[in-house]
Structure 1
């Protein structure tokens, strides 16, 4: 099966703390960018104009924070429609969200784990389908890092796979989240990656994490990517083919050239995987 992607190459998340420095980046250093729509949907003035300059220069993806797919609260359909207008306004190539929830009679300002149960699979899948119906496009869901597995009746691999199949949606494969969860809860990260449905993967995330303890990693997005995670990304390309991949960095920003070096490294791994494919 030929895989289609909304973007190509190696990307970087656009954060306000990086905007000034990123205006002077040479063409070709970054292939695409990503933002949380909640951070920009109602922004005008100088910042809104600056954001528009980026969306006119780069391909963009949106990665949402507050759709709250697993919440017991009713789906906020007005919010979904507002996101849809934002996507059209800026010609955003795709919209992804976390396979989690962040509200229960009000926002909790954190991404909470959904129980890995058959009932939750059907509940979340129906909400994803409703989002897709409203937007008129497929939703991409992301496997999330979690520090507890409440009500677990199946593995995370089974849960993620069943949700994307039941909802007929796509997958954002976060390689660092796979690594963090397998270290925290047990399991083989390569087996997890290999079990994901290739035909549904639309792009990947990679990020840094903090080693709180030998058996507790924290997905911070505030550090450089660890060598083990780079190796897991290489395995991802070997198993699923070369997939567009975005570097997430949310705070503790280094010099821009250090971030761009990590974006360059994504591209190097992609090119190496393509060469290896062609040699077979």
Structure 2
């Protein structure tokens, strides 16, 4: 019977923001604007870092990788979500849902560990400046990026394999994309094992990066406090402020979304959290690094000035 139910479910239907009724057009305009700004900001960051040789450093290499990952991350989710706000009936095949979840988990995990690599880069730059170029070689940077993506790949395979071996009875996903819990709710059988897998994976993806970044910043702050001049301390910490801002918001949203008790879960709260980490957080990266980072702004001025000339 379970196998029969599993094979009968060929597609899912997203409810999305149907409960918002006449406000859906307003949401479409708001989300489309944010999405365009996110794409434009991340593309500008990647382009500037690529063409300006002053930014050919490990720190900006990781930033360009993060911007690229965030761009693909939003492409996996946001276009279909925007479409659902205009065309209310939004089915997705079982294979399409599995693919969306697969890439979502890969890229979300990849982003967490890229932020960790950026924290390690700041630690080496501030605490071991004389050995920086030796430690943060091109090979080391490539290994950290590949390790981030590889970790995401393993987590995605684990999640999707466990999830789509479940028999499904329902077809209506009370969400705007194939997120883990909304799809899990459609299963015909007990999902305790899947919930344990989700908590295990989420805890690893959230707490390992947070722990490593915390250790990095304890060592960074201890080094900063040893700097004699107040101006030197301020300048050194300023190089870490943008990264720390993105880390706090990114991991904070993920922690609330995937580690909160089921008793505190509701459709409205889940939608709000999902909008935060799928639409708003990706915009944070280009905004923080373009508005608060002097080197990026200087590089942008150089490129714009060169093109005008």
Shorter-chain TM-score range: under 0.3
Normalised TM-score (structure 2): 0.25
* Larger relative contact order (CA 8 Å, sep ≥ 6): 2
Normalised TM-score (structure 1): 0.27
User: Which structure has the bigger radius of gyration?
Assistant: 2
Larger relative strand fraction: 1
